[in-house]
Amino acid sequence: MAPPRPKATPRITGESAALELERPLTVGMSPTRPYAAHFHSPEGMILLREPPDLIGFFAGNLGSLFMEDVFSYVLSGIRSGQLIVQHGPLRRTVTFRDGQVVFATSTERYERLGAALVQLGLLTSDQLTRAVSLVTPTRRIGQVLTTEEMVSEANLYNAMTFLVREVVLNLFEMMEGSFLFLEAQAPVSDVVKLPERTKDLVIQGIKRGEATNRLRRQFPDDLRLRVGKGGFAPGEEALAAKARPGVTLKELRAAYEGSLHAFFTWVEERVRGGSLVVEPEAPPPQPKAEPSATMDMMASEMLGPEERYNLLLSLVFRAVQEMGRDVGMFQGFLKSPPAGLEDAYASVLLDAEGRVDVEQIRRNVACGDEALSRALTLEALDAFVSYALFSAQNVLPKDLADQLALTYRALQEGLT
């Protein structure tokens, strides 16, 4: 369960008012640096420390928008400014100039310049330790590395380019957090030229996010691993020692310096090579009897997204049917689909269990592009399920309608 969010409480006395913030919200604040308030009353208020050149802002959370949606907003408007993405102590910042990424920073140790130089083999760990000891408030790590002739200017620039690219790509593995884009004038310093345009970088980021989610499902946090007969590469001694007595994947992750995608890829390779062995699971306790809808959705985890949508549609259909209510509203959708879905639902029928012919929908929307056809199929199914839930809430008990709505939300989130 996620910890409760800190609160901001208005205190109104007479003609004056104050906003009382809990301690976690005051990190980085100072009485000498006031904030401007943007009201969306009574629903909310956003406080921003506005620089003089601030043009506008765009804020939200990754529970409602995907990272590609956020980047699309910046790209479509050819915007300049800074994107800040945060989840707990993790904070990643990306700077844009005319819609193109020109810089990025992160609070993660493995996403810092020194770590990138070591990873690329341009610096040893001992050299990095010495360089860090020479850093001062007026002498940054890059200046130390070049003036002490540990790294050439060219290699320093290449490492920074590599690092900016990795910070951006790793944003797409984030499933939780909040984001804030501050649109401002284009920066003139601390900029790099990436080898690809931001649009291509976003496509790579989406692919990395999808791969991370696949591996996340394959290797859940509670999976137990131990050292096998295969060997480990040099530099992995600490990880091998951690896994030797047996360890959960979550515990092993805490000892790994790298992104989620890099960690899961490493685990997959070590399991395939025999360096790590998955421990057999203990027999699960006998589950208590649960409502059929819950059991059905548990089974749905083994199904593809199209089948899961169809199963949820069937659950809503059966729930309405068991209440003794008319299920004609489902047929009504097929007879008169919303605008834009007429072709998708042409000749599509509903069976006695409340399921639709997914294959027929897939044939209706086929366009020669397999990925696009699948997306159009899912979009059509999502529209029907949304309609069914909206209509059923008027005839089902509130607790059952809420349970089905939560299941729908979990299904949508699980497909990201």
What is the residue extent of each domain of the chain? Answer: 57-214, 219-278, 294-414
Return the pLDDT at 416: 53
Residue 34 pLDDT greater than 70, yes or no? yes
| pLDDT of the residue at 307 | 85
Check residue 295 and give its pLDDT.
Answer: 44
Nearest Cα residue to 106 out of 85, 122, 121, 88: 85
In this predicted model, which residue has the larger pLDDT, 159 or 11? 159
**Rounded CA gap, 231 and 240, in Å?**
9
Tell me the average pLDDT of the chain. Answer: 86
Confirm if 389 and 404 have CB atoms less than 8 A apart.
yes
Whether pLDDT at 95 is above 70: yes
Poorest-confidence range of 65-69, 280-284, 307-311, 321-325? 280-284
ω into 42 cis (within 30 of 0): yes
Give me the pLDDT at residue 200, please: 93
pLDDT digits (tens, 9 = 90+) for 354-391: 888 888 888 888 887 888 888 888 888 888 888 888 88
Residue carrying structure tokens 């729930």:
319
213 vs 173: CA distance, rounded Å: 8
**pLDDT at residue 17 in the model:** 84
What is the amino acid identity at position 112? R
Residues 280-317: tens digit of each pLDDT: 876 666 554 444 444 454 444 556 788 888 888 888 88
First-residue to last-residue Cα distance in the chain: 21
**Is the pLDDT assigned to residue 27 strictly greater than 80?**
no
> Is the model's pLDDT at 394 over the cut of 80?
no
What pLDDT score does 72 carry? 93
Task: Say how many C-beta atoms besides its own lie within 10 A of residue 263's C-beta.
Answer: 20
pLDDT of residue 272: 92
Residue 203 scores a pLDDT above 90: yes
Q: Is the pLDDT of residue 242 over 90?
A: yes
pTM here is: 0.64
pLDDT band per the 50, 70, 90 thresholds, residue 415: low
Is the pLDDT assigned to residue 93 strictly greater than 70? yes
Distance in angstroms (rounded) separating the CA atoms of residues 410 and 315 = 15
Burial of 228 per CB tally in 10 Å (0-12, 13-18, 19+): middle
DSSP type of residue 356: B
CA-to-CA distance for 219 and 369, rounded, in angstroms? 31
Report the DSSP pairing between strands 8-13 and 224-227. Answer: unpaired
CA–CA dist 8, 5 (Å, integer): 10
Distance CA 184, CA 75 (A): 14
- pLDDT value of residue 289: 41
Q: Kindly tell me if the per-residue pLDDT of 348 is higher than 90.
A: no
Residue at token pair 């984001």 = 179
- Asked if 35 and 46 touch (Cβ cutoff 8 Å), the reply is no
Q: Is the model's pLDDT at 208 over the cut of 90?
A: yes
| CA–CA gap between residue 325 and residue 290 (Å, rounded) | 23
How sure is the predictor about 79, in pLDDT bands with cuts at 50, 70 and 90?
very high
Query: Could you tell me the CA-to-CA distances from 256 to 71, 235, 252, 269, 311 in Å, in that order?
Result: 29, 11, 7, 15, 39
Q: How confident is the model at residue 400 (pLDDT cuts 50, 70, 90)?
A: confident
Residue 170: which pLDDT band, with cuts at 50, 70 and 90?
Answer: very high
Confidence at residue 227, expressed as pLDDT on a 0 to 100 scale? 92
